[in-house]
Structure 1
Amino acid sequence: MSGFALEPIYGSLSLAVVLVVITIAITLWVTPPTPDRKRRRWLVGLRLIAAAVLMLAMLRPAIIRTDNRAADAAVVVALDSSKSMTLSDGSGNPRFDTQQKSVATLLKGLNILDDSLSVEVIAYADDASPVSLAPGGGEDAIDQLQPVGESTDLNAAMLATIAAAQGQPIAGVVMYGDGTQTTPVSGGGASQVARTLDSLGVPLWTVPIGPAAGAGEDRDVAIASLPDSYQWFAGNQVEINFQVITRGFAGTDVPVRLSLIDENGKSEEFAIRQANSRQSRDTVAMKIVVAAPDPGTYRLVVEAETQDGETILTNNQQISFVDVREGGGRVLYIEGALRQEYSFIRRSLRRFPDLDLVARWIPEDTQKSWPVDLSGVFESGKFDVFIIGDLDSAALGRDQLKQLADAVNDGAGLVMIGGGDTFGRGGYARSILAEVLPVDLNTDDRNNQIAEPFALNLTRNHPITDLGGDRPEQIWKDLPPQLGANQFAGPKVAPGIEVLLQSETQQPMLVVGSYGRGRVAALAFDSTYRWWRAGQSEVHRRFWRQLMLWLLSREESGDEKIILEMDARRFTADEMPEFRASLNSASRLPLVAHAIDQKGVRTRINTTVSQSDDSAVSIRGQIPKLEPGMHRLEVSPADVAGQPSNSKVEPAEIAFQVIDQSIELLRPIADPVFLQQLASQTADQGGRSFRPEEMNELLEIISQRRKKAETPIVEKNRLGDGPRTGWPMFLLFAGCLSTEWFLRRRWNLA
């Protein structure tokens, strides 16, 4: 509705009229002093125009327009962008897709509903942030949202809805989501914010998405407790242990498949079992015995078949990393008394999982019961290597020594170590082992001992004595001297007999040979533990491992190599396990570590370098935070001063898996009741819950509320109030008076 009105100065129409009359009277009465009528009419006309402008300014005419419309306000829309929105909405569709479709309908309706209504959108997960919408829609910005939040904080989302209005009145808040709160709550939480909205007169409209508890959706099958790595040996029978955890599948047989994926990515299924769930919530322990495959590296995949009604599928599978090596070896160490030598040999060999070391003690104070029955440990095939320490032959007896000789003849390895009751001093010269050992024994060598410390000299290169480096002879000379040793009558003269180490006086210290299909060694000294104590632990480990492997007929290359270990090979994204790498080399090459993802992208890992007094160079570090998926840890010689390393040392690699165990994905059940409770706290303002497909109903409610919120809006356009009318009036008034003054000056009038 429009109208015309006068708003004279000082609010008095009478005063304005009087002033108008006076102005016109003065203009007509005081005429220009000129007899020329034409000039007088020009001057009087200019004065009258100026007077008319002045009169309009005093009367101030105005056009007033009155309209009823709602005041400017904002609707705030909150969208759930946490990972739980990737789960099912109860009808088989992802919750996030359902949310996106519903939001698109809502925004389209709001954009055409009311020009005075603005729309503010926020996305929330562990925190909340605004979403910038393009004018007239914003669908592109909504489509770009992804459900990647690691947790949900409904309290932060509710607080953000108030802040998003940026000081405007809030017409209402629309909150989408599954209603699950996965972050710790302090204070009143989201309920307190809902009460604040109610006190402000703002309705909260919630749109729950996802199945509630009891809706038949709490059904799940999970593989658990599978070790993250295995060390197998080719051809051995191995056990695979894991658990199948079920919910909601009582009386159901769940197929479980086991597959091996080799280095080339080829997958082969090798076992399938049925896990029978007896109860609604059940844990079924599984033990599967299989034969280890050929040597290599594999991924063991244990996967439960997807069942109807499952909402979480990421836990149906677990992966373990398998290293299969050539057949391993069981080592039996027989001693008369616990010596330092055994303690350090055990410390060195336990680092290698393919060597299983077992010790048997026969103390000297048990002589009355000699020979001791060792329950058939010398039977062929029971152990692969035998180590005879400081033990008298009488403790084993003739029959068991015969069994030992037969086991060596059948392919087992044997090494005898120096001591006070070994070799000839222990009576072995009169036993069948005199034929087995590669040295001739004195029948009584009680006085044939080397009692003074001596250095070891390398006599020939051999897989046992290769300790790395460019000067192997010097490495042996630099080792701490041995404190003493047994003396042999000499090495046997037979094919394959070799003296590898000798004393400074050329006494044989390490002699190797063969007996039947087995290999044998005679080690005259028993103080290799001194290498470890002097900081040469890596030399000690390498020597004893190479000796064991040679006795097993599995010589290991003496080349320098990197030994790499990880604390865990399957872990969640927020865990950062440690790793260690060492180089068994005297060259002290620097090492560098990288994490490599499935796309081949390399990430440098910060490491701490430690160089001990022995020949090992070691680094340790921590796996950084990585994206879920398969990765590799690579440790290699580092470039020096920008130049590639010339070392022949091959990089060492370990595969590992970063798993996504988001707390959001472990709760498949939504909490629509909580969102309904939040909305009900603003029921007096019109708050309530809607299903995602009910957005047209919500738009109708918003439209009705906007009509009820309409108020008269008065728009007044008064002459002279704005620059569009004020400046023309001023210029006309000033122009008339200036022209009148100019003409009088030109015509020489007073």
Structure 2
Amino acid sequence: MLWTYPPRVRHLSKGVRRTLIGLRLAGAVLLTLLLLRPELRSEETETERPSILLLADVSRSMTVQDGPGGASRFELLRSVLAACAPALEELGEDLDISLATFDGARNPLPAEVDADAALTEPTSVLPEEPTGARTAIGGVLSELSRSDADLTSVFLLTDGAERALPPNDTDARGVAALLAESGVRIVGVPFGSDGAPTAGLDLSVEDLRVDPVVFEKKRVPVSGVVRIVGGAGREFTVRLLTESPPARGPGDEVELAPVEPTDGSRPAIIVRPTTGSEEIPIELTFVPQTAGEMKLALQIEPVEGELKQTNNQRATVISVRKGGIRVLYFDRVRPEVNALRKVNLSDKIQLDYVELPAQPNALSPGLRLEESLFEPGRYDAFIIGDVAADAFQEGRKDFVDDLAARVEDGAGLMMTGGLNSFGPGGWERTPLRNMLPVELPRGGPIDAADARTQILGDVPMVPTRQGAQNYIMLLADAEANADVWRDLPPLAGANRLELKRNLPADVLAVGPDDAPLLVAYEYGRSRVLAFAGDTTWLWPLSGYDVEHARFWRQVVLWLTRKEEDTSGPVFVTVEPRNVVPGRPARLKLGARDEEGEPIADAQFTIEVTAPDGEIATLSPRAAGPASPGLFRADAAGTDDPGDYWVRVRATKGGSMVGPDAITRFVVDPRDLELDNPAADPALLADLARVTGGSVVPPEELPAFLAKWADEPPASAESTVLSRTPLYDKWWIPLLFVGLLGTEWFLRKKRGLV
């Protein structure tokens, strides 16, 4: 521009020429500055005072008197805070320090207490007595991590024992890791003893286990655990209680009475603890005399002088059904037979075993089968082991046809693995080929392992995501179930199963390379299982007797539709039957037509009546495509102990499907704070370690704070960089347009445009 523009304005006067060139040059300079994005920068140093919070536990476990001289934890906490007053007042001059209390959540300061005045009288933030029903350390820390961004240190004055319910049962250690990333340290000040209290006598029932479905006039095993504190050398009675007759609905209160002993049952036992604090496993049995739902309780008989008696009993509700389950099991002689026949020891399952040759031939013509074995209604389910289809032929009679007829009638069917089951056993030539949910390819030579149809070597059995929720695969509670299956010994080989295409079957367990091991299928009115394994006898051989027995019992109950109460057209079950206060009970419900088929479009009304008579209405939701016609609901609001009655009404097209289904569950009279009031200083130690803090004994807290008052923690300094951009001001475009516009106007006036 400096070279081409001046010659064009050379003929103008000197003043005009300089003005035009100056305007053009000023516009170019301004444009260049805009492209360089200039800004003004300045630095400022800010000082942040450390922010410290003292949190005092005011839950009911702080009333436990395990301090020196029989003082309660709360009395010690109050005295410690009072002794900290001088140090807190001095610290308040250099630090931002505040006090608060917590139990199930952080509590606001009392209205009459000023935050600054609390430093001179810290006990003013405390209530007269600790009354909190829960201790939610993790929940409170989580709240702090979200709300107090400037926090630098937290002093936790507590017994350290987490006693919280959803949604406040947050993992404290996980939250501490998040606080550590934000530079927050936790100082633990533990109160109380981490051992069981030894002063006084306390008897409690810690656990109760019984099958939710049992059968009348059959012996029912009941197990549990009782805890006895301060009763060494004495005798105590543990017994079963039940209703007689059972309650019929809300408001029908029936007092529990001791179960009467019958032949072969033991409903009571005497226990003798030998130490000051002891947990004793209990094994009892009883024989229910009538069918229906009944309340059953395990009780350690109260005695005079107990600290409390609300924990002497734990109750549940069981379903008593008429008759038992009969299963017919066909197999060759092998170790699996002996293990599976132990299912026959269950008082509600009768398993009859028929020995058959794997492959009948001239040397082994087979054992006689009787037509009476296949009479309609005689057996509820059939299990076929490592035997070929030909083993069911007796002359011209083929008993597979009779077996298939019983499955068509509704009997359950299961085929297990083996060298002669599924395809290798010739089952593709029988009517069962349409009932089994897997393909049946033929293998190699008879009674020989063939890699095309067999998985060789160790085969771990792993539940699928769907299988982990299935009744058959639940060997423990939901949290521990995966670990149990992981610990079970692997199967010694298995059959290769291939699912039939476009068949609504469920794969409950897989092996290597996700090969199906257990496949469930609803065939008409029957339930069918294809199980690739045949060596579950390895489980009890390795000490997993309970898991083995439970798996096979649940297989039988599922095959015979006995795992749920579906005797009526409308049904509802509750899991679990006894609930910890505050936790929801899970309901499963549904409706069936006259043919026993699920009614997927039924409309349900669900009412839950609490012990105080208050009625809550629930909304059902579909269980999912894997369980058509089955619905779920969660019953919350279970804070009060007692019986909760559930009533389900089903309608279709405005008409009732059948009578209302009624069941109930029990909320235990548990006291989370005081049933087991031992302190947990280990938790505080973990929180301090994770965050780089420390653990301070209560008696040393005043000196610890006084040291901080003499040498306050260093204030955090941060440098703040201020930037003032010069290129994005609103007037800069106007200036640029003004310069070029003025230059253009002057050139136009002089005839240059």
TM-score w.r.t. the length of structure 1 is 0.43
Larger Rg: 1
TM-score w.r.t. the length of structure 2 is 0.43
